[in-house]
């Protein structure tokens, strides 16, 4: 969501792109939802159904996203999103994902590690770094490349980060190892 800090919960440009590609060109455009809309979907999951249910769910997400944007600032929305999103394997929230894949706190992640987790969100099963390390590395590198493209890091920093090999310190804690791990 490159325009996250610019929109009010709904990215009209992205929605228009998805509508044109889907309805007029018959392509799977994907990616029209903002982080705020995805947060709304995480907080209030969709019910199954046909096209009508999907349209109703999208409208509900748009309305909820606009309300969330009025109630919370961007940093709070980002924090809420990062604490509700699934990283696969019943791993919800960036803190749990950082522990699972790197055995460290989210705040201690290096840029290439955070990029791996960000890339994992697109399709956690498909980009699972333990099962598909090459896919995960390519996705991580795409995230890093996009960061450089949009001026978040320099090209030189991106190159350095992409040279770092994929390295995990994977630990899957069970429900009974630790105090109230389900929280």
Among 36, 41, 1, 33, CA closest to 15: 33
Tally the residues of the chain: 183
Give the integer Cα–Cα distance in Å for 143 and 118. 7
SS3 string, 12-32, reads HHHHHHHHHHHHHCCCCCCCC
pLDDT band at 124 (very low <50, low <70, confident <90, very high): very high
Query: Would you state the pLDDT for residue 171?
Result: 86
pLDDT of residue 63 exceeding 90, the answer is: yes
User: Of all residues in the chain, what percent carry a pLDDT higher than 90?
Assistant: 64
Query: Would you state the pLDDT for residue 14?
Result: 79
Query: Would you state the pLDDT for residue 174?
Result: 57
| DSSP E strand stretches across the chain | none
CA separation, residue 114 to residues 59, 84, 110, 159, 181 (Å)? 31, 16, 6, 16, 22
Average pLDDT over all residues of the chain: 88
SS3 string, 104-129, reads CCHHHCCHHHHHHHHHHCCCCCCCCC
List of residues 6+ apart from 50 with CB closer than 8 A: none
Give the residues across from 92 on adjacent strands. Answer: 86
User: Of all residues in the chain, what percent carry a pLDDT higher than 70?
Assistant: 89
Mean pLDDT (whole number) for 152-171: 96
CA separation, residue 137 to residues 92, 107, 172 (Å)? 21, 21, 20
pLDDT band at 100 (very low <50, low <70, confident <90, very high): very high
pLDDT of residue 103 exceeding 90, the answer is: yes
What value does the CA radius of gyration of the chain take, rounded to a whole number of Å?
Answer: 18
């Amino acid at each position: 969501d490159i325009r996250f800090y610019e929109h009010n919960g709904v990215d009209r440009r992205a929605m228009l792109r998805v509508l044109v590609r889907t309805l007029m060109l018959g392509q799977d455009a994907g990616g029209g939802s903002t982080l705020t809309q995805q947060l709304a979907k995480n907080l209030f999951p969709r019910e199954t159904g046909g096209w009508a249910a999907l349209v109703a769910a999208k409208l509900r997400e748009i309305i909820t996203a606009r309300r969330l944007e009025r109630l919370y600032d961007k940093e709070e929305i980002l924090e809420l999103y990062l604490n509700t999103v699934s990283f696969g394997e019943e791993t919800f929230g960036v803190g749990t994902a950082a522990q699972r894949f790197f055995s460290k706190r989210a705040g201690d992640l290096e840029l290439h590690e955070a990029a791996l987790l960000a890339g994992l969100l697109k399709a956690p099963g498909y980009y699972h770094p333990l099962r598909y390390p090459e896919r995960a590395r390519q996705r991580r590198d795409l995230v890093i490349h996009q960061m450089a493209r949009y001026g978040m890091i320099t090209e030189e920093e991106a190159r350095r980060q992409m040279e770092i090999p994929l390295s995990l310190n994977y630990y899957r804690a069970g429900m009974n190892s630790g105090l109230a791990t389900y929280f």
